Structure 1
Amino acid sequence: MREFSLPALYEVPADGNLTDLIRRNASLHPDVAVIGRKVDGRWQDVTAAQFLAEVRAAAKGLMASGVQPGDRVGLLSRTRYEWALLDFAIWSAGGVTVPVYETSSPEQIQWILGDSGAVACLVETEAHQEAVESVRDRLPELKHLWRIEGAPQGESAVERLREAGEGAGISDEAVDERSALADADSPATIVYTSGTTGRPKGCLLTHRNFFAECGNAVERLKPLFVTGESSVLLFLPAAHVFGRLVEVGALLAPIKLGMVSDIKNLTEDLAGFRPTLMLGVPRVFEKVYNGARAKAQADGKGKIFDKAAETAIAYSRALDTPEGPSFGLKLKHLVFDRLVYSKLRDVLGGRATHAISGGAPLGERLGHFYRGVGFTVLEGYGLTESCAATTFNPADRPKIGTVGQPLPGSVVRIADDGEVLLHGEHLFTRYWNNEAATAEALSEGWFHTGDLGTLDEDGFLTITGRKKEILVTAGGKNVAPAVIEDRIRAHALIAECMVVGDGRPFVGALVTIDEDFLPRWLKSHGKPEGLTAADLVDDAELLADVQKAVDDGNAAVSQAESVRKFRILPTQFTEASGHVTPSLKLKRNVVAKDFADEIEALYQR
C-alpha cells in the first residue's frame, strides 16, 4: 500500500455557499468581465456586476414560481451563457441543480428528473421540451417547464423568470436572504453518472465539495488564473462535472469564462475569444495534431511537419533532464517555431499557453509534442464522485505521461490490489436514493474508484486500467484494455477501438474509422470521393493502414496482451447509437452485445 498527499492551499468557508462568489466578484471587481457570451456571432463581455444582477433577476422568478430551499431543478441544455446564469440562479433561490445531458433520451430524462424529484426543469430547445413533455405524465412532482430559446410565447426562460420576479415584487434583499440559507455542507447539485452499465446513479455534491475542489485547484495553478488577464473557453458539456469545475473555478478566481455549445466551430471560437487557458479531452488534442499533420501532407510539407514534431518532442524531453536542451536542439526548435509551432498556436487562439485535459490518457508522445510547441497540456484525473479533478499536473513542473499529483488537501492511496482510493473534502457525500451503492463505494472515508494505478516517489499518479475491465484470456493472461486502446485510437484514421478477449485464446479488437479524416485518406490513396467505412471494411489498403495503428498499439504491451486480429466496423460508436457515454467513455457491455457476431468472427478459424 502506498499513499501521497499535499497540504490544503484553500480554506473552505464554514458557513458560505457558492453564491457568495458572484456577490464577492460584484463587490470587489464590479467592472471586470467575468463571462463572455456570444450573441449573433460576436463576443460580448458580461461584467461581475451585470452577472449578479441577471442571476438575481432569474432567481426572483424561480422564487415567485414556488421553488423552495432544497428543491431540485433540472437544467437540460448545451454549454452556453444561460447555463451558468441559471445554475447560479437556482442556487440563489435555494435550489439544487440537476444537470441533464442535452442528448439524453426521454427515458433517461424521465429517470433523472423522477429519481431526483425535480419540481421544475429548464430546457434549451423545442426538441428538449418535447422530450420532457413526452414523459411528463410519469413526473408527478414536475410543476414547471421553461424553455431557453424559441419559446412559443416569444420570450425566453430568462425573460419569463425576470418578469415573474418583477410581478411578485421580490427584492434583491429577499434573494440574498434566500441565497444565504445554504451552508457549505448543503447539497449544491446531483450529477447523474454517465452509466456505462445500468441506470445512472445520482452523485450528490455539496457546496463544500466545489469549494475544496475549485479553491485548491485554482491556488495550485495560480499563474494560470490572473484576474483581468486570464480567460478560459469551455466547450465541453456543462452538464458534466468537468464542465462545472471550469464554470465555478473561473468565477472563484475570477477569470473570464467563455462558453460555446460544441466544437464544430472551435477554430473560429478560439480565434474570436482568444483564451489563455483551454480545457479539453484527449480526442480534441489528437484531432488538432492529426488535422495539422494531414494539412501539411496535403500541402507537400509533410516531411517538414514530421521533423518539426520530432524536434518538439525531443526538446520537451530534454527539458526534464539536468542539462536541458542542447544548443543545436535549441536552434532547430527556434527555426521550427517560426515555420510550424507559431502557426499551430494560432489555431489554438494565439494566446493559450496551457490546457487541462482529462477523461482519458493523452499519451506521453503527444504530451511532449504539445509542450515542445509551447502549449503545455496538463493531464488530470477525476470522477463525478471527486467533483472532477482529484489529481492534476502542476503548471510549474508537470510530469508528462502521468495524471499528476493529488489535489491539495486530499490523499491518494494505492491499495494492495492496485486500486486507487481517494480521501478529501472534495469527495461526494452519497448517491441519491441509493444507500447500497454508497456503502459499496465509500468505506471509512475512502472512495474506491475502481481504477488501477501506481504512485511514483514524487506522488505522481499513473492510471493503468479499470478493475472491472480487466480481461482474462483463456491462457490466464490479465489484460488492461485502456493502454493499447489509447495508443491505437491516437492514430488519425481511428475513431474508436475496443479490445476484446475475455476467456478467448487471444486479444482482438473492434475498430471504427474517423469520418473527419476518411476523406483525406481517400484522396491520398486515389479512391473515389464519398466512400464510407461501410464500403471499405475489406479494402486491403485501409486494412494495412489500420494494421499500422494496431502495430503501434502493440508496441506498448507484451506479446500476450497484443491485438492479433481486428475487425473494422461499418458504423460508429456514438452517444446517439448508445455505445458511448456523454463523456465519450465506451459502454463495453452494449458494444459487446450489439457486435457479438463481429467479435465471434474474430475467433473463427
Structure 2
Amino acid sequence: MHPLEISRQAPLLMQGGLADSLFETAERDPLLQQLARRSDTSPPVWSPVTAIELRDEVVGVARGFIAAGIFPGHRVAVMARTRYEWTVLSYALWTVGAEIVPIHPTSSHEQVGWILQDASCVAVVVEDEQGIMTVGSVCAALPALRHVWQLDAGALADLAESGLSVPVTTVESMRRIVLPDSTAVIAYTSGTTGHPRGCALSHSSLGSPCDTLLAGWGHTTAPSGQQPTVLALLPFSHVYGLMVQGLCMRGGMLMGHEPDLRAETLADALLSFRPTYLYAVPFVFEKLYKNFLRKAEEAGRGAVFERAVRTAQEFAAATERQRLGAGPGPGLDLRLQHALYDKTVYRKLRAALGGKVCGAVSGGSPLNRELALFYSGIGIPVHDGYGLTETSGGITAQPVGREKLGTVGQALPDTEIQVAEDGEILVRGPSVFQGYINDEEGNQAAFHNGWLATGDLGRLDDEGYLSVIGRKKDIVVTNGGKSVAPAALEERLRVHPLIHQAVVVGDNRPCVGALITLDAEYLAYWRSVHTVPGEAYDRVLREENALREEINRVVGAANSTVPHVESIRVYRVLPEPFDLANGLLTPSMKLRRDAIGQRYAAEIEAMYQSSSRAPRSLAPADPYNWDEADNVFG
C-alpha cells in the first residue's frame, strides 16, 4: 500500500453487537449531538438529540419489543422511508438481539408478501396507512406474523408505554448476549430479475467496513475540530443507507434524515441542515449538477457557467496528475482562472449545498469521471466507492492523497479483490455476508474457492485501483456477436441536462439501441428558450425537430467515446420516466432491465423495424448499414 493510504489507527475489534456503540457513546459523551429531528415545515427546522436522549429512547422502545415477545433471533421487518424513527427502531431491535428485515415502502404487494414469508417475520413496522393496507393484503398467508405497528399512528410511543413493566436490567442483559457473528440484518437484494434473495449480514460484517472507513478516512468528513454532519438521503432499506447510518452512529457524526429527493425539498434540507459530508448515488450528483446548470441558464449566465465547468474539470485533472506523480499541476493561467471562478461561481455552488460540504462519496453505480472532476474542481471532491449487498456495503475507497477519479479506489484494509479470467470481480474479507437464507444452491454458486463472485465485471490496474465495467448479466450481445457493456454509454447520455435516464438494448439485434427518458424540469426550460414564431402547428413541429436534433447531438457525443461497432444506432424517447412507482427502478435507483425490456417490448421492436433498410425477416449483413442514430420518439 502507498504510505498515504495507511489507516491512521487500526479499528477496534467488535466485542458485541451494533447497538453497543450507542450505549458506549452515551456513557462516554452523553451530551454529544447524535441525531437531528426534522420538522415538517419548509424549510425544515432541525432539533438536536443527544446521545443520552437517544439511548434512553432506544431503551424504552426495546422494553416495548420485549413486552411484545420479540426476542433474540426473531425477525422484524421495517417498511418505512429514511426517517428519525428508523434509527431508533434499528438500534432498539439490535439491543434485544432481533434481526431487521428492511423493506422499501414502495414495494409491491407481491414483493412484501414474498419477503415477509421468506424471512418468517414475526412483526412488521410500517410508516403509514398505505403500509397497513399493503401488509393487510398479504397477512392471511403469513402465519408467523404476530404484530403490525404503524409509525404515523404513534408506534414508538405505544411500544415505550407497553414496556414500562419490563426492567431496564432485562434490556441490558439481552444486549450483552448479542455476539459479533449474530445476524443483524436480512437485506434483500434489489431483485432486478426473479425473486429478491435475503442476504444474512452479521453485526461484525456491517460494523467492519464502517470502522475501517472511520479509522482511515473519518478525518476527511469535516474540517479539523468540527463535528462531522451527514444528511442521510439514501433508503435504509438498502445496505448503502444502513452503512451511512453505521458510520454516523459509530463515528460520532451528527445525522439528519431526508427521504425526499425532489429538487426543491432537497435544496431546503441542504441549506438548513448544512452537512459537512454527502453520501449519495450518481443520480443525486447528476441532478444537483443539472440544477446548477438550469439556474445559471435561467439567469442568463449559461455560457459563463459552462466555461467555469471546463475550468473546474481542467484544474481537477491537472491536480490529479500532480498527486499521482504524472504532471506538474495546474499552470499559472489555469490557477488564475480557477481563482476567478471560485469567487464568482464555485462559492455560490458550494453555498447552494449548505456552504459546509467538504467532500462526498458516490456509490451504487459508477460516477461519470467528468462529473467527478467538476465537483473536485469546485472544492467538493466526490470519491467513487464500490460495494454490494452481499459485502455489507463498501469494500473499496480512494486512498487519501492518492485519489484516482474514474475508478472506485482500492480494496479496504483486510479486504482482498481479484478479477477472474472472464472479468468478474471476486472479493473476500470481513464484510462478506453469511449467506442467502433458504437458498443453499445460491450459496454454493456465490462462492468460488472462498471468494465471493460479485456478478460485476471490472479491471484492476497495476496499483490496485479497481474500475467497474458493469454487471455480467447486463452485457448486451448483438446478433453479430459483439459484447457491449451498457453502463459507460448510459452514464455519458445522462450527463446531458436533457437526459434523465437511458437504457442500452440490443441483445440478439443487429446493432446497439437505447431507450431514453427526458428530464421534465430541464425540458420545460429548454422549450421556453427555444420557442419559434409562426402558426401553432408549424411552431410545434419545428420545436420538436429542434429537440430531435439536440438529442441526436447528445447521442453522437456519447458514441464518440466508444468504438463505432458499439455505438448507439437507434433510439427511442419514452413519454414517462423509469421509477419506483412503475416498478422499473430498484430502491437503490438501479434499472430493472428485464422489467423495462418487457414493458417496452413493442417500442423496442418498432424502433428496430422502422430503422432497418432490410426486410424485417432479414438482418442487415453489416450493422453500419443502419441509419445514423435514428431518432424515433414515443
TM range (shorter): over 0.9
Answering whether residue 524 of structure 2 is matched by residue 489 of structure 1, we say no
- CA displacement 1:175-207 (0-9 Å, x = unmatched): 111111110100000011110000000011001
1-structure distance, mates of 2:597, 2:439: 28
Superposed, which structure 2 residues align to 1:201-600 within 5 Å? 201-225=197-221, 229-264=227-262, 265-320=265-320, 321=322, 322-526=327-531, 539-600=544-605
Q: Is 1:220–1:408's contact at 8 Å kept on the other side of the alignment?
A: no
Q: Which runs of 5+ in 2 are unaligned?
A: 613-634
1-structure distance, mates of 2:542, 2:270: 36
Deviation at 1:546, TM superposition (A): 1.3
Q: Is 2:531–2:543's contact at 8 Å kept on the other side of the alignment?
A: no
One-letter amino acid of the structure 1 residue matched with residue 408 of structure 2:
V
Q: Is 2:227–2:252's contact at 8 Å kept on the other side of the alignment?
A: no
1-structure distance, mates of 2:69, 2:389: 30
Return the match for 1:54 from 52, 57, 66. Answer: 57
Greater mean deviation of Cα atoms: 296-305 or 389-398: 389-398
Superposed, which structure 2 residues align to 1:71-150 within 5 Å? 71-149=74-152
1-structure distance, mates of 2:14, 2:240: 24
One-letter amino acid of the structure 2 residue matched with residue 310 of structure 1:
R
Corresponding residue of 1:3: none
Q: Is 1:274–1:350's contact at 8 Å kept on the other side of the alignment?
A: yes
Larger RCO: Structure 1 or Structure 2 (Cα < 8 Å, ≥ 6 residues apart)? Answer: 1
Deviation at 1:340, TM superposition (A): 0.4
One-letter amino acid of the structure 2 residue matched with residue 53 of structure 1:
D
Distance 1:423 1:476, change over 3 A: same
Q: Is 1:190–1:203's contact at 8 Å kept on the other side of the alignment?
A: yes
Secondary structure class of the residue paired with 1:382: strand
> TM-score normalised to the size of structure 2?
0.90
One-letter amino acid of the structure 1 residue matched with residue 454 of structure 2:
T
Deviation at 1:39, TM superposition (A): 2.7
Deviation at 1:527, TM superposition (A): 7.2
Q: Is 1:454–1:462's contact at 8 Å kept on the other side of the alignment?
A: yes
Greater mean deviation of Cα atoms: 41-50 or 390-399: 390-399
Q: Is 2:271–2:352's contact at 8 Å kept on the other side of the alignment?
A: yes
Aligned length: 588
Deviation at 1:290, TM superposition (A): 1.4
Q: Is 1:10–1:212's contact at 8 Å kept on the other side of the alignment?
A: no
Corresponding residue of 1:18: 18
Deviation at 1:394, TM superposition (A): 3.3
2-structure distance, mates of 1:161, 1:537: 62
One-letter amino acid of the structure 2 residue matched with residue 84 of structure 1:
T
1-structure distance, mates of 2:558, 2:63: 55
- CA displacement 1:124-170 (0-9 Å, x = unmatched): 11111111111111111110111111x2xxxx01100100111xx22
Q: Is 1:277–1:353's contact at 8 Å kept on the other side of the alignment?
A: yes
Deviation at 1:472, TM superposition (A): 1.7
Q: Which runs of 5+ in 1 are unaligned?
A: 1-5
Distance 1:561 1:538, change over 3 A: farther
Greater mean deviation of Cα atoms: 8-17 or 173-182: 8-17
2-structure distance, mates of 1:287, 1:225: 22
1-structure distance, mates of 2:301, 2:226: 40
2-structure distance, mates of 1:39, 1:569: 37
2-structure distance, mates of 1:435, 1:536: 58
Secondary structure class of the residue paired with 2:193: coil
Return the match for 1:181 from 177, 183, 187. Answer: 177
- CA displacement 1:25-64 (0-9 Å, x = unmatched): 0011110101111134310101111111000000000000
1-structure distance, mates of 2:542, 2:32: 55
1-structure distance, mates of 2:65, 2:330: 59
Q: Is 1:370–1:377's contact at 8 Å kept on the other side of the alignment?
A: yes
Q: Is 2:63–2:159's contact at 8 Å kept on the other side of the alignment?
A: yes
One-letter amino acid of the structure 2 residue matched with residue 245 of structure 1:
M
1-structure distance, mates of 2:531, 2:542: 17
Distance 1:70 1:289, change over 3 A: same
2-structure distance, mates of 1:39, 1:571: 32
Secondary structure class of the residue paired with 2:71: coil
Q: 4+ runs of 1 displaced by more than 3 Å? A: 6-15, 225-228, 535-538
Secondary structure class of the residue paired with 2:163: helix
Secondary structure class of the residue paired with 2:385: strand
Q: Is 1:278–1:356's contact at 8 Å kept on the other side of the alignment?
A: yes
Secondary structure class of the residue paired with 1:447: strand
Q: Is 1:203–1:384's contact at 8 Å kept on the other side of the alignment?
A: yes
Corresponding residue of 2:615: none
1-structure distance, mates of 2:367, 2:532: 32
Deviation at 1:580, TM superposition (A): 1.4
Corresponding residue of 1:38: 38
Deviation at 1:477, TM superposition (A): 1.4
How many percent of aligned residue pairs carry the same amino acid?
40
Greater mean deviation of Cα atoms: 595-604 or 123-132: 595-604
Deviation at 1:433, TM superposition (A): 0.9
Greater mean deviation of Cα atoms: 220-229 or 204-213: 220-229
Root-mean-square deviation (Å): 1.8
- CA displacement 1:506-537 (0-9 Å, x = unmatched): 11111111122221111121179xx9xxx999
Q: Is 1:203–1:431's contact at 8 Å kept on the other side of the alignment?
A: yes
Q: Is 2:39–2:45's contact at 8 Å kept on the other side of the alignment?
A: yes
Answering whether residue 200 of structure 2 is matched by residue 200 of structure 1, we say no
One-letter amino acid of the structure 1 residue matched with residue 443 of structure 2:
T
